[in-house]
Amino acid sequence: MSATHTDVPVDGPAEQDCSIRDVLDRVGDKWSALIVLRLSDGPRRFSELHREVDGISQRMLTLTLRALERDGLLSRTVYPTVPPRVDYELTDLGRTLLTPIAALREWAVAHRDDIRRARARHDHPTSDPHASPAPAS
Amino acid sequence: MSATHTDVPVDGPAEQDCSIRDVLDRVGDKWSALIVLRLSDGPRRFSELHREVDGISQRMLTLTLRALERDGLLSRTVYPTVPPRVDYELTDLGRTLLTPIAALREWAVAHRDDIRRARARHDHPTSDPHASPAPAS
DNA sequence: CGGTATCCGTAGGGATACTG
DNA sequence: CAGTATCCCTACGGATACCG
């Protein structure tokens, strides 16, 4: 990633691009944002996340949680009981991330239909805008 | 807060997850957000974007622009001059996306150091929290 | 200038099996 | 329950060459 990464002195568009590049590499993956959102209303156990984050594999759940923990976005608490229990919870830093991610989600909810329409329009450019566009995906 | 209680009729978490899943698949890729940000202060030519979006290949610039156009986030205007000139500009829909992306960028700028520190702490767990954390490896 | 077409390596990520 | 370990496949994306 940051191969040519010398110390940029101050701000400027390059600096900001670089920052958002980092963030996208971090939470722009397939699962991080979803997990962070799941954790927004309190801690979760591994198996709870596995059930609630739809479609995620055990492997990716582990990997993503580890990465988020590494970046200080969530904390991992192991209870040495049997059977074992592990709780994941957003840190203060992780909670600050909640704001922009929630903004993204709200945008998604608000404009998903716009995008679907635009896509349909682009994909089969029938001259009839009233033709049923969404075959119930 | 019990899991045995699914009284949410329509806009449950699954619905929202599904939406943000879509958005992440769309703008969570390596270049889309960067391009949208570049276009925030007005239209750009292909070659301008190629220069301004650091590190992007011609191929990925084309592909990403096409995808964004397909989703109605930007418009493509061809001037039949010679040499040819093509302008890309955010649509109204694209401009609405600017808000959450900018929020993400601001978060990135504000917390990049926090993440770097957390990462360093995690990666080499020296017992000395005052040791210089980023040895510019 | 603004693209396509092609080739190709790598990383992301799913499925499955095993473990403490 | 909460993971590892392994295999394997594909989509992303870089490099390069060519075209209108």
Contact B87, B43 (CB under 8 A): yes
pLDDT band at A3 (very low <50, low <70, confident <90, very high): very low
> Average pLDDT, stretch A90-96?
98
Q: Is the pLDDT of residue B2 over 50?
A: no
Q: CA at B25, C1' at D4: how many angstroms apart?
A: 28
**Whether B52 and A115 lie within 8 Å, measured CB to CB:** no
Query: How many Å from the CA of B84 to C1' of D20?
Result: 10
Number of residues that this document lists for chain A: 137
Q: How confident is the model at residue B76 (pLDDT cuts 50, 70, 90)?
A: very high
- Comparing A2-11, B43-52, B54-63, B98-107, the range with the smallest average pLDDT is A2-11
Residues of chain A with C-beta less than 8 angstroms from the C-beta of B110: 96
Q: Which of B53, B103, B114 is closest, CB to CB, to A103?
A: B103
**Chain C nucleotides near the protein (CB, 7 A):** 1-6, 12-17, 20
d(CA B25, CA B69): 15
Q: Is the pLDDT at B136 greater than 70, yes or no?
A: no
Q: Is the pLDDT of residue A137 over 50?
A: no
Any idea which fold B13-121 has?
Arc Repressor Mutant, subunit A (1.10.10)
Higher pLDDT, B18 or A89: A89
pLDDT at residue B12, rounded to an integer? 57
State residue A85 phi and psi, 5-degree precision. -140, 130
Does residue A9 carry a pLDDT above 60?
no
Average pLDDT over residues A25-36: 94
- What's the rounded Cα separation, in Å, for the pair A71 and B113? 10
For residue B60, give how far its alpha carbon lies from the nearest alpha carbon of chain A (Å): 15
Report pLDDT for B124: 76
User: Closest approach of chain A CAs to the CA of B17, in angstroms?
Assistant: 7
Q: Model confidence over A46-81: pLDDT tens digits? A: 999 999 999 999 999 999 999 999 999 999 999 999
**A8 or A82, which is more confident?**
A82
* Residue A88 DSSP label: E
Helices marked H in A28-80? 32-38, 46-52, 58-70
Please write the tens of the pLDDT for every residue from A98-129. 999 999 999 999 999 999 999 999 987 765 55
* B46-CA/C4-C1' distance, Å: 15
Q: Between B38 and A25, where is the model more confident?
A: B38
- Asked whether residue B77's C-beta has any atom of DNA/RNA strand D within 7 A, the reply is no
CA pair distance A110, A50, nearest whole angstrom: 27
Q: Residue B29, CB, less than 7 Å from strand D?
A: yes
| Mean per-residue pLDDT of chain B | 85
Q: What residue spans define the domains of chain A? A: 13-121
Which position has the token pair 């990464």?
A: A5
Q: Sorting pLDDT into bands at 50, 70 and 90, what band is B85?
A: very high
User: How confident is the model over A84-108, as a mean pLDDT?
Assistant: 97
In a 3-state reduction of DSSP, which class is residue B88?
strand
